[in-house]
Amino acid sequence: MLTSVVIPTRDVADQLLYTLFCLNLQLTSFDDFEVIVIDNASTDDTQQKVAQFAANYSLRYVRFRRRLPFYRLVNEGVVQSRGSLVLFLASNLMVPREFIGTHMQAHLHDPKLALLGLDFVYDRACLRSPGNLAACRSVPSVDSHGDGAGYGAQAMESRASLPVCRQADRAEARARAVSGDSSPTT
């Protein structure tokens, strides 16, 4: 099973390199996953640093010329992916060596899983996060159904979408976040 790791990013080149390096240390065979960096019009040296990075895995870089809403980056990541499993990862996360293998095993056991990272807030079927999300390839797209200004996305599983998140639901979910501020960092 090929796994696609999609990393949306903007102006955090040095942090992104730590994330890419952690993926170089994965216990999973490098032939079993690809990494796609989706650059949201970074003004730093992200493009140069990704080009110079010595990845042990297939690494692709897609850059937008102008800043776009997060859901557009996620959708582009799904379009660019070749894997039957798509993992979304924040560009500032250092993941353990078992990260990809654990996701692959979980989805082999139950292909309809939608795994969510600890920084997610679930409220009234609204899933929102500036962090990581794992979703099955059967997800046709991810759409914010809102203003699209935040680095959050609504997740869909097995082609059946969750109820639309209203602006009030988003504000309420943010207010209930146990881990602190769940608003975008970029």
**Does residue 30 lie within any of the structural domains?**
yes
Domain membership flag for residue 18: yes
- What whole-number distance in Å separates Cα of residue 124 and Cα of residue 122? 7
Residue 171 — pLDDT band, cuts 50, 70, 90? Answer: very low
pLDDT of 41 > 70? The answer is yes
Q: Is residue 162 a part of any domain in this protein?
A: yes
Which pLDDT value is given to residue 114? 79
For the ranges 14-28, 89-103, 123-137, the lowest mean pLDDT is seen at 123-137
Q: How many domains does the chain have?
A: 1
Q: Determine, yes or no, domain membership for 147.
A: yes
Q: What is the CATH number of the domain that holds 108?
A: 3.90.550.10
pLDDT digits (tens, 9 = 90+) for 63-116: 999 999 999 999 999 999 999 999 999 999 999 999 999 999 999 988 888 777
186 occurs within a structural domain? no
Integer angstrom CA distances of residue 107 from 36, 89, 93, 133, 177: 20, 17, 21, 14, 27
The answer to whether residue 183 sits within a structural domain is no
Residue 185 lies in a domain: no
Q: Is the residue at 16 inside a domain?
A: yes
Three-state SS string over 31-82 comes to: HHEEEEEEEECCCCCHHHHHHHCCCCCEEEEEEECCCCCHHHHHHHHHHHCC
Asked whether the predicted pLDDT for residue 17 surpasses 60, the reply is yes
State the residue range of the domain holding 126.
3-176
Inform me whether the pLDDT recorded for 179 exceeds 60.
no
